[in-house]
Amino acid sequence: MNPIHVGLLGTGTVGGGTFAVLARNASEIARRAGRPIVITAVADKNLERAREVVGKMPDVRITDDAMSIVDDPAIDIVVELIGGYGFAKDAVLKAIANGKHVVTANKALLAVHGNEIFAAAQQQGVIVAFEAAVAGGIPIIKAVREGLTANRIEWIAGIINGTTNYILSTMRDSGRPFADVLADAQALGYAEADPTWDIEGVDAAHKITLLSAIAFGTPVQFEQAHIEGISQLAAEDIRYAEELGYRIKLLGITKRVAGGIELRVHPALVPAKRLIANVEGVMNAVLVKGDAVGATLYYGRGAGAEPTGSAVIADLVDVTRLHTADPEHRVPHLAFRADQLENTPIVPMAEVESAYYLRLRVQDKPGVLADVARILADNAISIDAMVQKEPAEGEGEADIILLTHLTREKNSDAAIARIEGLATTVGKVTRLRLESLAS
């Protein structure tokens, strides 16, 4: 059969990995897809880098004009690996308008502009595939959208940013502070020169937004996500959590509850006995709880050239198989048919129920713990466990660590405000959420 012609926009890490894997495994991929998949044009502002990626393949057109590929009638599928919201959005929408299928790894673009992009694709009868946008080489999009289609998804919780997981794992192993470990991560290439989107939870929020929409059949709602990062996390909290039988992970969580859907990213204490708590380094893992199948775990490399390139090529194979299929019989972009999406509200964080880890620095005086316990009781918060650290010799202050039972976030907010107002409290109360992730 005639080959499918692909135009590749961007030859950075993922673009290079995609090109290399497709070239190396071309015959195997063609056997799976039913016809050859060939990259015939590559665009990058850095022409020298593009030439290095293409190597000794003279039939591949190299250009610094990405739109020339988008407008090329010989191109069947456009692979967008540029990133960002600006030009990438224009290129994707133009490709769709030209009747071309799109494969992208751009989670930020889809989390922010996905509703517009999917609507345009629906109207034109083309596919926008984005397996590589979440968790790199782990086929989590396909698992939730297709593999678990018989299930009513109850919740998803994932370690979906390798940079932050490396930092947290290293802080736990070494006892070193956040800033030092971040510098190491940057030196090793795990963190960007500007790591803000990673360490402040934005990257994970882009990804959990997409998983939430697929799991629950809603439009993407990134602007409603609650986002907290790890930049304020102290080494002593990681140590105390370990002593109590927990590990701290940055989690993306989406959950179906009575009032709507929870959509949140934040550090959380996870029981050390859970498999996901033992995911270390730059690895990713996603737990999905379905009513029929129970809890399922997906683990692997969440980033990198060839792992992410593997996901891009999986999408290329899917699109190739469905290239001539009736659009009405393709798998919907967000798992549910476009006319069946529901505008289920995102639950405000104030109404989210969670258990909590609280660390208080207090003056070592009689009655302090009683005052704290009274404030918690006044706000309908019960204590599950408590540890009081002995003050260092010559110091008049001590740490108290409390684990609470489930309560609403607004109760926790009110209690913390009163505790911080006590004359015996030193500084701010540290609060982290507990996620049992029980199946």
Query: What is the chain's alpha carbon radius of gyration, rounded to the nearest angstrom?
Result: 24
* DSSP label of 144: I
CA angle 430, 432, 433 (to 5 degrees): 155
Distances (CA, A) of 283 to 14, 50, 130, 167, 185: 17, 28, 20, 12, 14
Which residue type, as a one-letter code, is found at position 27?
S
Written in H, E and C, the secondary structure of 192-242 is CCCCHHHHCCHHHHHHHHHHHHHHHCCCCCHHHCEECCCCCCCHHHHHHHH
In 3D space, the residue among 392, 326, 384 whose CA is nearest the CA of residue 355 turns out to be: 384
The C-alpha atoms of residue 7 and residue 25 are separated, in whole angstroms, by: 18
* Residues catalogued as catalytic: 207
Listed in order, strand segments (DSSP E) in 337-416 are 353-363, 383-388, 397-404, 407-408
The C-alpha atoms of residue 360 and residue 430 are separated, in whole angstroms, by: 7
Place of tokens 């505008």: 343
